[in-house]
Structure 1
Amino acid sequence: MALHPLLFCCLLATSLCIFQAQGSKNNYLDCCEATKDVPLRNVKLLKSYVIQNPQMGCSIPAIVLITKMNRWLCYPPDSRTALGLMKALDTRNARKSRRH
């Protein structure tokens, strides 16, 4: 008994999706493997931030500050430095969006 071609295509597509989901731990971004609370005061060096968490497929939670040179600075989630810089970035971005 031959499989209907449409049924065969659906089975093939489903199996490929399952294999891809199992093989890709993290499609969102590369993860910080360690964090360090480094003093940084100049928000002008930064362009954005990402809050890394296990739901993204990363092993540790972190605040990732991204510089204008695309360097990632990985801070602990409770870092006062990182939280202050996140707030400053949000304020700066809100001011920019009001101008446009």
Structure 2
Amino acid sequence: MQQLHLLCLSLLVLGCILDVHGGNNVLDCCLRTKETPIPWRIVQDYRLQLVQDGCDIPATVFITTRGKRLCAPLQSPWVIRLQEKLDASFARKAKPQGK
């Protein structure tokens, strides 16, 4: 009986160590993309999802003002235009005022 307790305790400690060291890492990846254009007014940010980062497909992940993540094809013309519009908006906000 004491050996069973020791075994359970060992498994619990091992599970905690694996969890702390990333044994159960789950990437938040898009599984598919949509060609439907997203209105620029609802988008506040974006990030790129790349295959070399551990995801199955490349995508542009747009983050809406409500916190939703919308997956779009990386090289689609409307996606590139929206990225450029967001980048320009970020650049304007980053400039110091009065200079």
> Do the structures match in fold with TM over 0.5?
yes
Q: C-alpha displacement at 1:21, in angstroms?
A: 4.3
Please name the residue that 2:35 is paired with: 37
Q: Secondary structure at the match of 2:88?
A: helix
| Letter of the 1:20 counterpart | H
| Letter of the 2:48 counterpart | I
Runs of 4+ in structure 1 off by over 6 angstroms are: none
The count of aligned residue pairs is 82
Alignment TM-score, normalising by the size of structure 2 = 0.69
Structure 2 residue ranges without an equivalent (≥5): 1-16
Q: Secondary structure at the match of 1:47?
A: strand
- What percent identity do the matched residue pairs reach? 34
Q: C-alpha displacement at 1:43, in angstroms?
A: 2.0
Alignment TM-score, normalising by the size of structure 1 = 0.68
1:87 aligns with 2:84: yes
**C-alpha RMSD over aligned residues:** 2.3
Q: C-alpha displacement at 1:89, in angstroms?
A: 0.2
In 2, distance between residues paired with 1:86 and 1:31?
A: 19
1:61 aligns with 2:58: yes
1:24 aligns with 2:52: no
Call closer, same or farther: CA 1:90–1:62 in 2, change over 3 Å.
same
Of 61, 70, 73, 1:73 maps to 70
Please name the residue that 2:7 is paired with: none
The structure with higher relative contact order (CA 8 Å, sep 6+) is: 1
Q: C-alpha displacement at 1:80, in angstroms?
A: 1.0
Please name the residue that 2:6 is paired with: none
| Letter of the 1:63 counterpart | T
Q: C-alpha displacement at 1:32, in angstroms?
A: 0.7
